[in-house]
Amino acid sequence: MTDVITTAVDATVAEPITLTATAASKVAELIAAEAADEVLALRIAVKSGGCSGFQYDMYFDSEFAADDVVRDFGGVKVVVDAASAELLTGATLDFTDGLQGAGFHISNPNATRTCGCGNSFS
């Protein structure tokens, strides 16, 4: 099992998603390669769509809304909008790099059904 990086959390706001140490390291590497002068965070969102109803969206962002949930995992900022936070509560983002491919994977206990591509859920 991969270690999960934790951080102090405001008890009034549920933890929308955690990052494993491997995922945080990979995100830090990607941000370092991407960012020139601006401070970037990994934004994780849930959007309508996909073959199961919802799909994950991840991208680097430098703008934050007042109701965004912002967490720090070993120096990596993760931002989740309020609506997505409800659907991601208890989820974990991991990164794997193996012979069958590399990539990020979200384990979400709120997903009752996922599709074969692994990118959408309901």
Residue 107 zone, left/alpha/beta (φ > 0; ψ -120 to 50; rest)? beta
pLDDT at site 4: 42
For the chain, the domains span 13-114
Say yes or no to pLDDT of 8 above 50.
no
| CATH-assigned architecture of domain 13-114 | Sandwich (2.60)
Q: Interior CA angle at 80 toward 89 and 107, to 5°? A: 40
* pLDDT for the residue numbered 98: 83
Please, which residues bridge with residue 103 across strands? 96
Q: Note the pLDDT tens digit of each residue in 9-29.
A: 344 456 889 999 999 999 999
User: Of residues 121 and 104, which shows the higher confidence score?
Assistant: 104
- pLDDT at residue 34 tops 80: yes
